[in-house]
Structure 1
Amino acid sequence: MQKVEGGTEDARGFAIAIVLSGIGAGGTERVVSMLANRLARNGWRVTIITPEATDAQSYYPLDSSVDIVRLGLPAARYGRFRGRWVAIRRILGLRRVFARLKPDVILSFLTRTNVQSLMAAVGMDVPVIVSERNNPAMQEVGPNWNRLRSLFYPRAHGLVVMTSGALSFFPESHRRRSWVIPNFATLPHGVVARRDGKVLTAVGRMVHQKGFDLLLQAFARIARRFPDWTLALWGEGPERETLERLVHGLGLEGRVHFPGLSQRPGGWIESADVFVLSSRYEGWGIVLLEAMAAGLPVVSFDCPWGPAEMVEHRQNGLLVPPEDVEELSRAMALLMNDPALRDRLAQAAKSDSRRFEPDRVLSQWEDVLLQAAVHRHSGSTQRRLAPAA
């Protein structure tokens, strides 16, 4: 990779437009908030653009110099024709904002938003970098969006993914320039893992991907052996009622709790003793990394992709075959039954998570964006590129 000599000083005066579907709670939103804050501190003019309602508030703190533009076209269940009309309005809205801001680089997150950003920027002399944050081989975006992605991704300046597995999904035409940048491990100030109880914890949006139904089945197999342990499922989503019915069907009343969203980012860590990732697939699995950074013992499905890049089996956590409920229950029982093993794995997890410190990861993002901005002006500037150290 190359970098611009002079470090962040060369970024001053550059403008970036960051486009994403929402500014609420979530892994992508966390990355965007921290990246936007870093860029703003380093002299970039930063604008976040979201289709959300005009009164939408950011779940994560943002620097006072970061502007937010809300298009007032939030996600909702639309019929086919209504949905297309809303998508067109979003594209037109993005194009108007791009024309007004005249950014040096556009950074877009998630497939549908990426396609809309690329369409909105057609004919504009501005590089667009798109980032996929999930597992593109497993995530269903629909045939129309797949076709549009195939048509417009070759127009992107470059593609950022979190794992080599995700990168291998895309043909060469979709990644003229490409970068694998992992997620980072970060804990909000004041959040500390206490690990003085007996609570299994899982965190995520309550959707099929997260596999909470598999986790409940695994817990049901061992619950009677560990009557003093409980399971907390943090998050909200369309499958919550289905999961609550499953709790009843498995006879787990009083043993499983649904606390909802934590009142502050990372607050769920403070009541967790063992963290479990039961996802069928992931783009990365940022909550797994957060648990490791907090010094929690972890057990995870070895799902595609992400967990195997963070967890080394029996060294800093436990990995079990994807969607194998029986093996998941055994791994959970192993940790629940062995405090010494929990302590050993927790200490190793906390140490190993330093590979993903925010400053290291965010500096990779800034290098990519700076290269793109300089590339746009390469015909009229004397900025000099030097090999990275």
Structure 2
Amino acid sequence: MMGTTKTKIAIITSSLAHGGAERSCGLLSILLSNLGYEIHVVTVLDEIEFNYQGELLNLGLLKKQDDSFLGRFKRLLVFKNYLKKNNFDWIIDHRPRIPTCSELIISRFIYNPKNVIYVVHNFKIDKYFPRNKFIAKIIYKHSPYIIAVSEEIKKAIHQKFGYKNVKTIYNPIDNKLLNSLSKEKIIDKKFILAYGRIDDDVKNFSLLIDGYSQSILPQKKILLYILGDGKDVEKLKLKVAELHLTEKVIFKSKLTNPFPYVKSALFTVLTSKYEGFPMVIIESLALGTPVISVDCNSGPREVIVNEQNGLLIENYSSNELAKAMNRFVEDQFLYENCKNNASKSVEHLAVASISKQWQEILSK
């Protein structure tokens, strides 16, 4: 299949809001649409913030009307009929695939498994695969491809399940879009930045705040901006207050465009317990902003070359994080070197390059 309007693709995602995985789904819809494919996007939740292209089926609107057992059954029928009516050549499913019972139903009775490509966005592969290998085989054995967004995820799938149909395709960067979204003028103050879903169990913003509090940045009047929404905003604000940093740590919610802040930050920081292939890192580097990241599974070590485009540090150590922050502030040569190398270090993730990789598998 070549990239023509005759080739129809459905991209299935939990939502188009909040996180990097969801942002990458929107970007993939734009990428494939620009290649000439007819794109449809199906969202499970009524959460639409990120840019996308194609026809939208928002199952979340039905979920809001009726989330009873009968309502869920009706949504499955709507979904099944939509797929049948459009007769898609490919389905690209980005959702975390739990619980197992629901996924068995979807894989056996909703999908045609021979044209479904499953995408795994997280190193915690239990979010995507049943623990039972026999059931996992039932769901995945006929899929032509399982796409891992990092090499570490690919290895984890190989090690646990032994599948041979796993391929790595990194999340892409749309430099043109990023540059256009980052032009807005913002505060004229020095600050560092973290952004994403405010879920401390995953993103570990507590470690970020501890590292910042132990660094020299507060006394040098370098602020910490935390952008995003999520369940732990109030908990983190309380922690900041207990550290007497309320005027130094600024939370901004309901912000659909973080990129003016990304471009203006001295550097961005990622402190996650685990990731997939973090958009925070590649977006920052693409905009010329160096990164400090913990060496979590997975993604950071596949992008960051230590002391060349950022600093890669031991995870769960506020002391190491504080030292890294201090180095970027005090060692101007190191900082400028990382900043100068930032954008070119992710050129291989540009839309043109990632498009070719998707086109290669969709043309088979």
TM bucket (normalised to shorter chain) is 0.7 to 0.9
Structure 1 residue 319 corresponds to structure 2 residue 312: yes
What corresponds to 2:143 in structure 1?
156
What corresponds to 2:94 in structure 1?
109
User: What is the alpha-carbon distance in structure 2 between the residues aligned to residue 213 and residue 125 of structure 1?
Assistant: 42
User: What is the alpha-carbon distance in structure 2 between the residues aligned to residue 223 and residue 83 of structure 1?
Assistant: 53
What corresponds to 2:213 in structure 1?
220
Paired amino acid for 1:101: N
Deviation at 1:250, TM superposition (A): 1.7
Q: Secondary structure at the match of 1:314?
A: coil
Paired amino acid for 1:203: Y
Structure 1 residue 62 corresponds to structure 2 residue 55: no
Query: 1:145–1:260: structure 2 CA closer, same or farther, 3 Å change rule?
Result: farther
Q: Percent identity?
A: 24
2:180 to 182, 186, 189: 189
User: What is the alpha-carbon distance in structure 2 between the residues aligned to residue 151 and residue 215 of structure 1?
Assistant: 41
- Are the equivalent residues in 2 in contact too, given 1:153–1:174 (CA < 8 A)? no
- Are the equivalent residues in 1 in contact too, given 2:262–2:287 (CA < 8 A)? yes
Alignment of 1:278-293 (within 5 A): 278-293=271-286
Deviation at 1:270, TM superposition (A): 4.0
Q: Secondary structure at the match of 2:180?
A: coil
Structure 1 residue 253 corresponds to structure 2 residue 246: yes
Deviation per residue, 1:249-269 (Å, 9 max, x gap): 222121100012434252332
Deviation at 1:198, TM superposition (A): 2.0
- Are the equivalent residues in 2 in contact too, given 1:92–1:120 (CA < 8 A)? no
Structure 1 residue 230 corresponds to structure 2 residue 223: yes
User: What is the alpha-carbon distance in structure 2 between the residues aligned to residue 34 and residue 224 of structure 1?
Assistant: 35
Deviation at 1:303, TM superposition (A): 0.6
Q: Secondary structure at the match of 2:60?
A: coil
Deviation at 1:332, TM superposition (A): 0.7
Alignment of 1:306-385 (within 5 A): 306-371=299-364
Structure 1 residue 165 corresponds to structure 2 residue 152: yes
Deviation at 1:155, TM superposition (A): 3.5
TM-score by length of 2: 0.86
What corresponds to 1:96 in structure 2?
81
What corresponds to 2:23 in structure 1?
30
Structure 1 residue 206 corresponds to structure 2 residue 195: no
Query: 1:193–1:367: structure 2 CA closer, same or farther, 3 Å change rule?
Result: farther
Q: Report the count of equivalent residues.
A: 353
What corresponds to 2:14 in structure 1?
21
**Please, which runs of 5 or more residues in structure 2 have no aligned partner?**
none
Paired amino acid for 2:88: P
User: What is the alpha-carbon distance in structure 2 between the residues aligned to residue 27 and residue 306 of structure 1?
Assistant: 12
TM-score by length of 1: 0.81
User: What is the alpha-carbon distance in structure 2 between the residues aligned to residue 360 and residue 83 of structure 1?
Assistant: 44
Deviation at 1:125, TM superposition (A): 7.3
Q: Secondary structure at the match of 2:57?
A: strand
User: What is the alpha-carbon distance in structure 1 between the residues aligned to residue 263 and residue 321 of structure 2?
Assistant: 23
The alignment's C-alpha RMSD in Å is: 3.1
User: What is the alpha-carbon distance in structure 1 between the residues aligned to residue 243 and residue 120 of structure 2?
Assistant: 36
- Are the equivalent residues in 2 in contact too, given 1:157–1:176 (CA < 8 A)? no
Structure 1 residue 118 corresponds to structure 2 residue 118: no
Deviation per residue, 1:129-177 (Å, 9 max, x gap): 100111125x657978998645412232220011121112225867342
2:115 to 103, 127, 148: 127
- Are the equivalent residues in 2 in contact too, given 1:181–1:361 (CA < 8 A)? yes
Deviation at 1:69, TM superposition (A): 0.9
